[in-house]
Chains A and B, each alone.
Chain A
């Protein structure tokens, strides 16, 4: 197996699936400004996915391009974390999911800027600039909603309780991660976790929210074992290419 290919697929699928989830808000945002903000973030994520999957296709060397990788794989071949495929829920749930992800993505891209792989580093430099905007946006909403009204606090706390069990997987480490770390290509997830935890603690405490104390954590996404939600996402995402193979517009 080509480890760099697999690694790029993991990064690319996180962006692709979360980008798709955010795009589901198009026309449904609670206010116009947020509708626009979420679709902007979606566009950034899909742009990052395009860069990552395009490069994955080049690394693989089998002639697959970013579109083929995005639209024509089967569910077990998607390697995104379970967190990003979880349903949007209400606006607070979407912002909480985004915040927990952005708080991981920012230190990850900061580290990947120094990747020994030139193209991965270039993608990280570009993506980092966008991720900073995303984190600021999602963190501010988590604080507003948590330290907001009684109802907003209760609902966003429930969201946190529901998806907290998907956060450990962000730091899933296997032989692929270890091999690339030794080559200086990837990032040390233990260090990323420290940075993530710091941001999470800081923002959640300002938001007057509590980290749930249940210990159970899910994983499986990085190995292609997904929750049922991914199937529905793929049905929508892949419909056009499956129904009209090779179509362009």
Chain B
């Protein structure tokens, strides 16, 4: 049977289809790898309930395993514990920023109406003079910002706890 660390290594080839610069491990979507006598069991969890990337991720893992000669495996999708942006790796946050998406910052309680949006620095010029254009961005996990200094529109990976 294949070794556990070899499987983790292999799975580092699987990236998020919507944010290809991040692997599923960087994002915290990949929760666990278990090797039993009969099979490899991979556990993943969605970011948002309706995350449309999950099926693609499952397919990508299956295709990779088959290519690598791993025939007996299960992919478990669990909801609990619920995903949080705290699970994003430090390396992931750096990669995200280099890619042009501002990584999640700690935010105050979402339920406060008309609260000031968090200060997010521009991933292009680092200015903190930015504004939130919309709480909802190109995917469920992102908000839409614009830099007032260099005018770059950018995505902010919003904090989810």
Give chain A's interface residues, CB within 8 Å of chain B. 33-34, 36-37, 40-41, 43-48, 50-51, 106, 118-119, 121-123, 125-127, 129-130, 132-133, 135-137, 139-140, 143, 203, 206
Contact with A along B129-140 (1 / 0, CB 8 A): 000011111111
Contact: B80 with A45, CB < 8 Å? no
Chain A residue nearest to B158 in the complex (CB): A133
B89 at the A/B interface (Cβ < 8 Å)? Answer: no
Contacts of A126 in B (CB 8 A): 46, 49, 79-80, 82-83
Contacts of A119 in B (CB 8 A): 79
B36 at the A/B interface (Cβ < 8 Å)? Answer: no
Closest CB-CB distance, A134 to chain B, in whole Å? Answer: 10
Q: How far is the CA of A150 from the CA of B144 in the complex (A)?
A: 30
Partner of B135, one of A37, A47, A48, A203: A37
Give chain B's interface residues, CB within 8 Å of chain A. 46, 48-52, 78-83, 110-114, 133-140, 144, 160-161
Q: How far is the CA of A67 from the CA of B121 in the complex (A)?
A: 42
From DSSP, what is the main secondary structure of chain A's interface residues? helix
Contact: A143 with B113, CB < 8 Å? yes
Contact: B138 with A44, CB < 8 Å? no
Contact: A36 with B134, CB < 8 Å? yes
Chain A residue nearest to B140 in the complex (CB): A40
Partner of A122, one of B82, B112, B140, B160: B82
Pick the most buried of B81, B83, B114, B133: most chain A CB atoms within 10 A of its CB. B114
Contact: A40 with B136, CB < 8 Å? yes
Q: How far is the CA of A111 from the CA of B160 in the complex (A)?
A: 19
Contact: A33 with B134, CB < 8 Å? yes
Contact: B135 with A136, CB < 8 Å? yes
Contact: B50 with A45, CB < 8 Å? yes
Closest CB-CB distance, B56 to chain A, in whole Å? Answer: 13
Contact: B113 with A140, CB < 8 Å? yes
Contact: A36 with B49, CB < 8 Å? no
Contacts of B137 in A (CB 8 A): 36
Contact: A37 with B134, CB < 8 Å? yes
Q: How far is the CA of A33 from the CA of B79 in the complex (A)?
A: 29
Q: How far is the CA of A51 from the CA of B50 in the complex (A)?
A: 9
Q: List 10 A-B contacts (CB under 8 A).
A: A33-B133, A44-B48, A47-B48, A118-B80, A126-B80, A129-B160, A130-B49, A132-B111, A133-B110, A137-B136
Contacts of B113 in A (CB 8 A): 136, 139-140, 143, 203, 206
